[in-house]
Structure formats: C-alpha cells, structure tokens
C-alpha cells in the first residue's frame, strides 16, 4: 500500500486531485458505521498491491444530539484506509442535502495518521443547525473527492408546532399549514424539548408573525408552561378576531421558547382562516354525515349534537396526580379522507384545561369506522345488508418502551400493540368490525347515500312502527273478543 510521492503531488493539485485518486485506488465501497456514540465514514479500498478487504458493518442513519454539548453534540467524521502519508491534512466539508442543492454547514480538517486513518470531531452547534433551518434530514461530508453516506440529526432541544394528534406542523413537515376557525377558538400546541432542563422549570412561549424588511414582525401573544419529563407544551387557543388586531397576514407564525438559560425559535407555520358556513338553519344539519366539505366537518360549523348511539360523552379516567385532569369520551365529526365523507368519531381525550400541563398524551386514540362492501338495493328483496370495518389508530399515543409510557405505574398498565407501547385506552376494546347486518328497507327514507347512522335510525323507526302496529292489533283483537263474548 505505497503511494508514490508523484501521486501525492497530483492529489494536492486542485485541478487533478480527484482523478488519480480514483484510478490508483479502486474504490470498492464507502459506508457509515457506529462506534459508541460516533458516526464513522469508511473509505475502503481494494488496493491492487495488497489484499485489504472491507468488513461489512451496518450503516447508521440517525443520531440524537444536544447542540453545543461537547459530548452529546459530538459527531465524529472518520476516514479509514486512506493511502496517504502520516500527517497529510485533508479538508472535510459538511453539507445538508436538499432537493436541488445543499446547505454548506462547515469545513473541518482531517489529519491522516500512519495507518491512513483520521478522526475528525464535529461538535454540532446551534449555528451549524441554523444553516439548514429545521431540516436535519441528510447531513453528509466530502473529503479527498469522496462523499459520505447521509446522517439524520435529531435535535433533542428542538422547538416546534404540533396539532392535537401529535403531528408536527409548519415548514419542513408533512402539514405545512393549519386551518383555524373564525367562529370558535382552535388549539395549536407549541412544543419545547430539552432533556437537560429540570422538572418544573418555567418556559415562556412568545408568538410572533414574521414580516419581511422594512416591516418588523408582529408580536401576537405570550403563553406560559412548565417542563415535565424534558418537555413543555404551550397551548395557543387561536382567536382569529384577536389575531386580526395584531397582524394583517397569516403567512409565517413562529414562536420563541424562552427559559432562563436558553432561547430557541420554532419553524414557521402558515394559518388558514376557515369562515364557518352560515346556512346551518336552512340546511338543517343535525348529523356529521350531512357536511360536504372537510372544513365544515372538522370545525363542526353547525354544532351537531346527535351522534346516534355510537358515542355518549362521559368521563373515562381521572388522573389522580392532578384533580383537574381527566380523560373523557369525545364525540366529534371527522373527515374520512379515503371515502371523502364526514363521519361521527369517538376518541378518549384529555380535558382542555389540562392539555399541556401534564405528561399524558392529549388523545389516546381514535376508532375509525368505515362501511364496507355493497349494501344491495331495496328493490330486489326489501332488505339492505351492511358490514363495517373498525380500525383503531393510536395517534400520538406511541412509545418505544414500557418505561416511556407516562403516568404512575399503579394507574395504568401499558399496552403493547403493533410493535410499540401505548398508554391504555378504554375505547380500543369496543372498536371492532362487524356485520353483515340485515335491515328492512324503510319506505319513506331515500336510499342513496345511506350511512350507518341513518340505518340505525331507520331500524329504530321501523321497530317503533312494528310495535305500534302490533299493540294496535292486540287491542283491536281484545275488543273484538269482548264484543264476541257479549254477543
């Protein structure tokens, strides 16, 4: 494994250095491996002059870090098998890949040792992360004409927007905007995570709306919260009438999470105003199925009160550590994006006043009920038959280990399901598929667009009519019998 001086000189000729490197050393593969908390890049060669073979070590794809922390913020760029003389210095440039270009993060230098290896310590700082705002998916580095694999960094001290189901919101997420209602307040959650911050530490969430120069950003309001389990949740109940007095546009909301030791800024979130449908009286909307659009449905514009016998709101679990906190069965209209229909749903949900104050998830999960199969028609036999599939969705109620599941062990037994742990939900056991059920066709009800709820209602009406007819006949029979006896 001797590299001639001649070749070394060419390597450091800027114009040509990539070319001889590749030809003299036939690069076999490059890969990423883990040693302890470090990320290692291997540049392995099958040299013509020797029999060096790379071992197959599995690649790592992500690493959790605390920016600026000399131990927990540390990533090591390791070059191995470089056939270069002891003490050779190579630049290593770190990037973050985007779809069309890359963000340049930093340039470090690698000093190759007598064995042809180099370990470069990169302590990731907030300034590094700020070069690729809220996008830490694909870090990589290049050195000596080679490119490493991708590394995803997970900032353990991150701050970000979230919806009630635990889905991150705003730029860089799958939900870049969020709709708020003009007729009621809509809750949005502001998360601040930092494993170093002690229990009970106060955090201030300052909400702003970003405007480009020469205008200055609009201050909206401040919300307070406390840290528990390395996490603080601020709840912003968006009242559009109030927000309108602060900003004329809803393009780029962000918040600052401020503790006595740290201030971090969130990603941007665009809000969309939903103006509720004013024709509720006229259209006589009384069940979820009558809503035509996702917004009308999810904001329940006409305040539907009837959820049939599917859902009755009641307290399901009281949190003993906090007398004001409880879970209840929440009945609501939800949009089924597969069938494009509005449906009644039930979920086990934390009461509003407690959201953001305790560690437990806001929702323990939803039961999705979808009518399955063809119902047949009333013309052929006078009956409709229907089946339904019920699927349970744990939503954000998901943990990697039983120890992570919040709440005192006396109060809950964590549930293991589909490879993850969950806080237990009472509703899950009643979320089961069923059918087929036969229903006699009602004469006066339109047959098209029949939902399960209408079928249940129709069944009840039919049962009532039948029992009324039965009672009437029984009475008539008795009367007749009496008349006969008198004769």
Contacts to Ca ion by CB under 5 A:
96, 98, 103, 132, 135, 137, 209, 211, 218, 247, 249, 251-252
Round to whole Å and give the CA distance between 366 and 433.
14
Kindly state the tokens that stand for 220: 């909206």
* Beta strand spans in 38-84 (E): 38-45, 62-65, 74-79
Which CB sits closer to Ca ion, 64 or 202? 64
Q: Rounded to whole angstroms, how far apart are CA atoms 459 and 383?
A: 11
**CB-nearer residue toward Ca ion: 240 or 397:** 240
Report how far residue 437's alpha carbon sits from residue 232's, in angstroms, rounded to the nearest whole number: 48
| Shortest distance (Å) from residue 103 CB to Ca ion | 4
Closest CB to Ca ion among residues 220, 258: 220
Sign (positive or negative) of CA dihedral 437, 442, 445, 448? positive
Provide, rounded to whole angstroms, the least separation between the CB of residue 135 and Ca ion. Answer: 4
Looking at beta carbons only, is 98 or 404 nearer to Ca ion?
Answer: 98
CB of 215 to Ca ion, least distance (A): 7
For Ca ion, which is the closer residue by CB, 249 or 263? 249
Strand 253-258 relative to strand 263-265, pairing? antiparallel
Token duo for residue 345 = 């749903």
Residue 272 vs 465, nearer CB to Ca ion: 272
Q: In the beta sheet, which residues pair with residue 329?
A: 348
- Structure-token pair, residue 335: 């949009």
Q: What is the smallest separation between the CB atom of 94 and Ca ion, expressed in angstroms?
A: 12
Q: What is the dihedral of CA 292, 293, 299, 304, to 10 degrees?
A: 10
Between 218 and 368, whose beta carbon lies closer to Ca ion?
218
Nearer to Ca ion, 98 or 130 (CB): 98
**C-alpha distances in Å from residue 309, one per residue of 238, 300, 346, 430, 462:** 32, 19, 11, 13, 16
Smallest separation (angstroms) from Ca ion to the CB of 208: 9
Least distance in angstroms from the C-beta of 171 to Ca ion: 11
What is the nearest approach in angstroms of Ca ion to the Cβ of residue 210? 5
| Exposure of 151 in the CB half-sphere (CA atoms within 13 A) | 27
CB of 246 vs Ca ion, minimal distance in Å? 8
Strand locations in 182-269 (E):
186-193, 202-209, 218-226, 231-238, 253-258, 263-265
The least CB distance from residue 101 to Ca ion, in Å, is 9
Q: What are phi and psi of 22, to 5 degrees?
A: -75, -35
Q: How far apart are CA 106 and CA 130, in angstroms?
A: 12
> Smallest Cα–Cα separation from 54: which of 81, 74, 35, 34?
81
Per DSSP bridges, beta strands 74-79 and 118-123 are antiparallel
CB 195 within 8 A of CB 204: no
Shortest Cβ distance from residue 6 to Ca ion (Å)? Answer: 40
Structure tokens at 121: 């310590």
Q: Which residues of 221-234 are buried (b: 16+ CB within 10 A; e: fewer)?
A: bebebebbebbbbb
Q: Which is nearer to Ca ion, 96 or 277 (CB)?
A: 96
- Residue 130 or 249: the one with the smaller Cβ distance to Ca ion is 249
**8 A C-beta contact, residue 208 and residue 220:** yes
Residue, CB closest to Ca ion: 132
Total residue count of the chain as it appears in this document: 487
Please give the structure tokens belonging to residue 74: 């540390």
* Smallest distance from Ca ion to CB 244, Å: 11
The pair of structure tokens assigned to 249 is: 């546009």
Q: Which is nearer to Ca ion, 135 or 359 (CB)?
A: 135
Selection from 208, 304, 199, 315 nearest residue 252 by Cα? 208
Smallest separation, CB 454 to Ca ion (Å)? 45
Task: Give the pairing of strands 186-193 and 152-155.
Answer: unpaired
Q: Judged by CB, which is closer to Ca ion: 153, or 304? A: 153
């Amino acid at each position: 494994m001797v590299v001639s001086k001649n070749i070394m000189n060419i390597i450091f000729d800027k114009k040509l250095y990539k070319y001889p490197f590749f030809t003299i050393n036939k690069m076999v593969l490059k890969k990423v491996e883990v040693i302890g908390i470090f990320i290692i890049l291997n540049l392995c060669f099958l040299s013509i002059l020797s029999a060096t073979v790379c071992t197959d070590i599995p690649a790592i794809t992500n690493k959790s870090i605390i920016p600026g922390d000399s131990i927990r913020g540390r990533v090591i760029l390791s070059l191995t098998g470089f056939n270069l003389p002891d003490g050779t210095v190579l630049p290593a440039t770190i990037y973050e890949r985007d779809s069309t270009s890359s963000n340049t993060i930093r340039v470090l230098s690698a000093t190759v040792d007598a064995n042809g290896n180099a370990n470069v310590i990169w302590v990731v700082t907030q300034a590094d992360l700020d070069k690729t705002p809220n996008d830490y998916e694909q870090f990589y580095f290049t050195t000596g004409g080679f490119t490493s694999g991708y590394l995803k960094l997970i900032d353990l001290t991150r701050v970000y927007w979230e919806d009630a189901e635990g889905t991150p919101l705003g730029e860089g997420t799958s939900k870049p905007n969020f709709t708020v209602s003009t007729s009621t307040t809509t809750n949005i959650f502001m998360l601040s995570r930092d494993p170093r911050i002690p229990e009970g530490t106060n955090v201030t969430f300052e909400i702003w709306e970003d405007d480009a120069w020469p205008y200055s950003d609009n201050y909206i309001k401040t919300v307070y919260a406390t840290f528990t389990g390395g996490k603080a949740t601020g709840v912003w109940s968006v009242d559009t009438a109030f927000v309108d007095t602060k900003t004329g546009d809803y393009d780029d909301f962000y918040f600052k999470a401020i503790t006595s030791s740290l201030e971090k800024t969130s990603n941007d979130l665009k809000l969309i105003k939903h103006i509720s449908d004013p024709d509720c009286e006229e259209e006589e909307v009384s069940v979820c199925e009558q809503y035509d659009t996702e917004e009308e449905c999810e904001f329940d514009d006409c305040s539907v009160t009837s959820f049939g016998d599917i859902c009755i709101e009641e307290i399901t679990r009281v949190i003993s550590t906090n007398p004001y906190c409880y879970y209840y069965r929440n009945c609501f209209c939800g949009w089924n994006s597969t069938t494009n229909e509005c449906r009644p749903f039930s979920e086990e949900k934390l009461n509003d006043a407690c959201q953001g104050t305790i560690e437990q998830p806001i929702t323990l999960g939803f039961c999705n009920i979808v009518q399955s199969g063809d119902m047949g028609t009333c013309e052929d036999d006078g009956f409709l038959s229907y089946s339904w599939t019920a699927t349970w969705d744990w939503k954000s109620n998901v943990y990697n280990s039983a120890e992570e599941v919040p709440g005192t062990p006396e109060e809950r037994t964590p549930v293991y399901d589909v490879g993850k742990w969950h806080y237990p939900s009472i509703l899950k056991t009643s979320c089961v598929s069923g059918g087929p059920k036969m229903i006699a066709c009602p004469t006066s009800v339109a047959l098209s667009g029949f939902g399960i709820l209408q079928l249940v209602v129709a069944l009840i009406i039919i049962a009532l009519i039948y029992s009324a007819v039965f009672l009437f006949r029984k009475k008539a029979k008795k009367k007749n019998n009496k008349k006969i006896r008198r004769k």
